[in-house]
Amino acid sequence: MIAHLAIWTQDLERIRAFYETYFGATSSAIYQNSAKQFSSYFLSFGEGCQLELMHRPDVPTDSTDPLVQRTGLIHFAVSVGSHRQVDLLTNRLKTDGFRVVDGPRTTGDGYYESVVLDPEQNRIEITI
């Protein structure tokens, strides 16, 4: 079982608010280690895998193109329960100015999904 995925972020509060607002995440209290200048939140989405959001000022920004596949974590998927919910959330994110990279559509292997970028260009697959 996967315990959690982690994302380094430049703006910890903004990205935490994004996942709370659009994906119903519940955040832990902030963890801070002043000696390492490290801060983090763990976000829960009900049961299962958590998302750890981490910040440290010396971690450089990633300048790779978010639309290009690359080695390493390329996306994570969030299940929202139905075709309608995929459509509604995708439209809401687009209306609020977030980039929709693909979909909503049914993939060749039968998944109904869309792909959006969060505030720091991480790819999120929204599925049934």
* Length in residues, the chain: 128
* C-alpha–C-alpha distance, residues 52 and 44, integer Å: 9
pLDDT of amino acid 63: 62
Q: Is 109 helix (H, G, I), strand (E, B) or coil?
A: coil
Per-position pLDDT tens, the chain of length 128: 678 898 888 899 999 999 999 999 999 999 999 998 999 999 999 888 999 999 988 887 766 666 665 545 678 899 999 999 999 999 999 999 999 999 999 998 788 999 999 998 888 999 99
